Amino acid sequence: MVHDLSATATRFSQLDEASTLATQAWISRLDSPLQTSETGPLAGLSFAVKDNIDALGLPTTAACPRFSFKPNQHAPVVQCLLDSGASLLGKTNLDQFACGLNGSRSPYGAVPNAFDAPYVSGGSSAGSAYVVATGQVDFALGTNTAGSGRVPAGLNNIVGLKPSKGLISARGVVPAAQSVDCVSIFARTLAMATKALPAAFRFGVPDSLEFFADTLEQESYAQAIDRLTAMGGIRVDIDYAPLPPPQPLPGLLPEPVVASAGSPWLAPIRRVCRSMASSPSGRPVWCAPQRPCPTMRFTLCPVPCRPSPAWCALPLARGVASHWKSGRCRCRCRCRNTDPLWR
């Protein structure tokens, strides 16, 4: 169950904020909220930014004081939120350079869990998750490279939305692994997270599904589509036809097959079998020399061998010697060994 806004607000309003809220969740805070527009879909909402995302007027540290610099403009995602009427309160703590999943690898202090301080908050977007979970802001920006936008959300019982890569610009973000970095959103409800998403999102719906007479599941599925659409999502139907039957991979021998002495794939084996018999099944069988091989190695005969009295295949797991001595197999392959390992 995700945080209920009223319950969270009540819980913390009954306590002294200075003594209950972890100040180390923040790296820098503005003296007054930054608001550039009083109108827009996010008017009246407040947000925080993980301190590896640029915000004009605040240093970007990535939780490393010696790395700190002052950006000359907002990251595009921050600018978009401000233009939509949201107010920026400050920048939040993180595992240094966004490398960590527990929220404690920062010189600014370890961010505690919102429910029980001795426990970790999760990272690397620890501060952003904490300030949302404790009701200090309506939503917050984090980043997600491996799990930084989802792990702290799970540990603090909030929503962590990881948009598809490229849906939100990652310009103005200190890279951790640039090929997979993306900006994430923390909120107490899914509705708030999608509202704060500064871009329309699309969701895939298979064009054909079988519910096997489970009407309850079918109704729930339809309701989920309706909810996503109501949140502003754009439905995209995708082809969900079953995969075609498996086909032989190029270069692999199809089954069944009867090997021949001229087969190029048998050239490295360097064995020539003089038996001209063929297996009733049309498949090659394992061939053994007249004497057990000390190395327990097997190779395929170029031509299927004729065992007596019944057709059989030597099992690899048992080895030649144990199978030969058991008396259960009377294979007599008339082979000329050219490989010294078999002499």
Q: What is the average per-residue pLDDT within 319-337?
A: 40
The per-residue pLDDT of the chain, averaged, comes to 76
Residue 129 predicted with pLDDT over 80? yes
Q: What is the average per-residue pLDDT within 221-245?
A: 84
Residue 184 predicted with pLDDT over 80? yes
Q: What is the average per-residue pLDDT within 19-25?
A: 81
CA–CA gap between residue 303 and residue 58 (Å, rounded): 78
Residue 253 predicted with pLDDT over 50? no
Residue 8 predicted with pLDDT over 60? no
- CATH 3.90.1300.10 residue ranges of the chain are 5-204
Q: What is the structure's pLDDT at 247? A: 62
CA–CA gap between residue 174 and residue 145 (Å, rounded): 12
What percent of the chain shows pLDDT beyond 90? Answer: 53
The arrangement of secondary structure in 5-204, i.e. its CATH architecture, is Alpha-Beta Complex (3.90)
The structure tokens listed for 165 are 């890569």
Of the pLDDT bands very low, low, confident and very high (cuts 50, 70, 90), residue 290 is very low
Of the pLDDT bands very low, low, confident and very high (cuts 50, 70, 90), residue 181 is very high
Q: What is the structure's pLDDT at 105? A: 94
Q: What is the structure's pLDDT at 244? A: 56
**Active-site residue list:** 50, 124, 148
The owner of tokens 């998403």 is 197
List CB contacts of 94: < 8 A, sequence separation 6 or more.
Answer: 50, 51, 52, 62, 63, 103, 106, 123, 124, 125, 126, 127, 128, 148
| Model confidence pTM above 0.85 | no
DSSP β-bridge partners for residue 58 = 55
Higher pLDDT, 292 or 82: 82
Model confidence over 205-228: pLDDT tens digits?
A: 988 888 888 999 999 999 999 998
Residue 339 predicted with pLDDT over 90? no
